Amino acid sequence: MENRLVYSPAGILFMLLLVFLLFAVVGLLFFDLARTAFVKIGFTWGQALFVLLASLLGSSINIPLTKMSCSTPMVTEQYVRSFGVAYRVPVIENINCDTLLAINFGGAVIPAVISLGLLYKFPAALNFALAGIFVVAIIINRVAKPVKGLGIVTPALLPPLVA
């Protein structure tokens, strides 16, 4: 696996769908639905648009944190000839594999920075934020499962719905 800082985890059609959804959200900002939510937490309309664009564009950027090596047993086949006849014999070999641990810029770094900024601006909300983090972490931990070659996966809309 090669180390790439910019990697699009979704196809072009999915990215086009996200761009369409971005324009739909921008349309809702003009109708004062989402803008009111951003204004109530201290953002201007321009800042809200910047956050949405940065999250969308940043979703293609994965920042590598560390590379982990592992060794996994794999069944392979070898052929043994005896008296002119080839026999297939299963053999267990240890295969070396590398896993790259990375953090997504648009999906993790930007929301974390915004959340820290909001906690700095509203320190009284710290207890509520910690309680929310605890509840979401417990629920998502129960449904998350590792998928070989992909990483840890959860149902797409469950984390925002729980939050």
Q: Is residue 160 one of the residues assigned to a domain?
A: yes
Q: Is residue 113 one of the residues assigned to a domain?
A: no
Average pLDDT over residues 51-63: 86
Q: Is residue 149 one of the residues assigned to a domain?
A: yes
Q: Is residue 108 one of the residues assigned to a domain?
A: no
pLDDT at position 6? 58
Q: Work out the number of other CB atoms within 10 angstroms of the CB of residue 105.
A: 19
Q: Could you tell me the end-to-end alpha-carbon distance of the chain, in angstroms, rounded to an integer?
A: 34
Q: Is residue 89 one of the residues assigned to a domain?
A: no
Burial of residue 35 (number of CB atoms within 10 Å: 0-12, 13-18, 19+): middle
Q: How far apart are CA 146 and CA 131, in angstroms?
A: 26
Q: Is residue 87 one of the residues assigned to a domain?
A: no
Note the pLDDT tens digit of each residue in 13-24: 888 888 888 888
Are the CB atoms for 72 and 94 separated by under 8 Å?
yes
State the DSSP H helix or E strand holding residue 77, giving kind and residue range, or none if neither: strand 62-82
Q: How many domains does the chain have?
A: 1
Q: Is residue 143 one of the residues assigned to a domain?
A: yes
Q: Is residue 98 one of the residues assigned to a domain?
A: no
Q: Is the pLDDT at 60 greater than 70, yes or no?
A: yes
Structure tokens given for 3: 């180390």
| Domain housing 152 | 122-163
